[in-house]
Structure 1
Amino acid sequence: MSLSTPVSRRALRHTRAIDIQAFKRDDGLWDLDAHITDIKENDTLLASGPRVAGQPLHDLWLRVTVDRQLTIVAAEAVSSAVPYPGFCDTIGPAYEALVGLNLMKGFRHELKQRLHGIAGCTHLTELAQILPTAAVQAFASDVWPTHDAASAHVPHDKPFQLDKCHALRTDGGAVAQFYPRWVVKES
């Protein structure tokens, strides 16, 4: 399924691309490499000078290394293209402030406390905000089971993904069909 057909002719002016790749390391840790780019379709005049169409205004990287509990043990940020060279690209070391945070326990609140406003880069901090859900997808099946282990006669806790989204609510049809022992019936 795709979006509806636009109601008017359109001209592409800007593309923001976000890519996150998760890597399981040989030492048992995981790297989440996040990348964001902003590209204009036309030449752009910034206060710092002109930018040629198709060249990134932002080309930013953020890597966090997490353990199996999703606690950040290392973090680094690199700015390959920025609108204000010599200024924007000096913020990388600030992202070491992510070390010690857990992606599943108040991460977004703590991220804002540590790196909001002039303490960080708007775009890198925005990129960091989506790391928790990317980590969940990376860990699903590889670290955490995504099936109901009852079928394998292995007792375990309620699957982590239940009650985390609309489709997998424990009083809903998907849980009734795919995770029947966890369904909560309305009284």
Structure 2
Amino acid sequence: MPLSPSTTRRALKHTRAITIEAFARDDGLWDLDAHITDMKTRDIKLASGIRPIGSALHDLTLRITIDTGLTIVDAEAVSDAVPYPGFCNTIGPDYKKLIGLNLLKQFRQGVKERMSGIHGCTHLTELAQILPTAAVQAFAGEVIDTRDGASSSEQAKQPFQLDRCHALRLDGPAVAQYYPRWAIKPSSAN
């Protein structure tokens, strides 16, 4: 279902595009390549000069390499288009500070502690914040078993995705329908 149509005339002024690609590597590790671009629909005047229409204001890429336990073993960042060339694009090596963080264990807090404010690029740091759910999606069915296993004795553990969002809460109807083995009866409200 699409969003409702606008009730007033609108003019596009800015587009931010974010893509994340996940790659399984031959050495058993995974690369997550996250890319962000910002584009204006007009020439814009910056302190560093005019950025013509069609030129990216930001064109930034962050790659993290993770093991199958979702721990970062390497990181790299590049800034191909920035508002302050020679300044913004010097922070890339600092993203090595992400090494050692685990995407599912206090990751966002760790990123904030290591890369917030003057210790990082606002946009690269923001991009890092969305990597945990992208990694989980990449691992689903590849590294993380997401099957119900109701008819299989091989799965003794609850599927990873259960009880991690409102739709897949253990006491909800979706789990009762699709993962009956793991469903619990909803508590009755008094």
User: Which bracket does the TM-score occupy, shorter chain normalised?
Assistant: over 0.9
**5+ residue gaps in structure 1?**
none
For 2:88 and 2:69, the matched residues in 1 are separated by: 32
Kindly report structure 1 stretches of 4+ aligned residues shifted beyond 3 Å. Answer: none
Q: Name 1:41's counterpart in structure 2.
A: 41
Q: Note the C-alpha offset of 1:36.
A: 0.2
For 2:97 and 2:103, the matched residues in 1 are separated by: 13
Letter in 2 for 1:184: I
SS at match of 1:12: coil
Superposed CA deviations along residues 114-159 of structure 1, whole A, max 9, x for unmatched, are 0000000000000000000000000001111111123222132111
Q: Name 1:123's counterpart in structure 2.
A: 123
The aligned runs of 1:6-155 (5 Å cut-off) are: 6-155=6-155
Any conservation in 1 of the 2:150–2:179 contact (CA below 8 Å)?
no
SS at match of 1:18: strand
Q: Note the C-alpha offset of 1:184.
A: 1.2
For 2:72 and 2:117, the matched residues in 1 are separated by: 22
- Aligned pairs, how many? 187
Superposition TM-score, scaled by structure 2 size: 0.97
**5+ residue gaps in structure 2?**
none
For 1:73 and 1:122, the matched residues in 2 are separated by: 22
Any conservation in 1 of the 2:59–2:81 contact (CA below 8 Å)?
yes
Letter in 2 for 1:52: P
Superposition TM-score, scaled by structure 1 size: 0.98
For 2:34 and 2:186, the matched residues in 1 are separated by: 41
- Root-mean-square deviation (CA), in Å? 0.8
Q: Note the C-alpha offset of 1:79.
A: 0.2
For 1:95 and 1:184, the matched residues in 2 are separated by: 43
Q: Note the C-alpha offset of 1:34.
A: 0.1
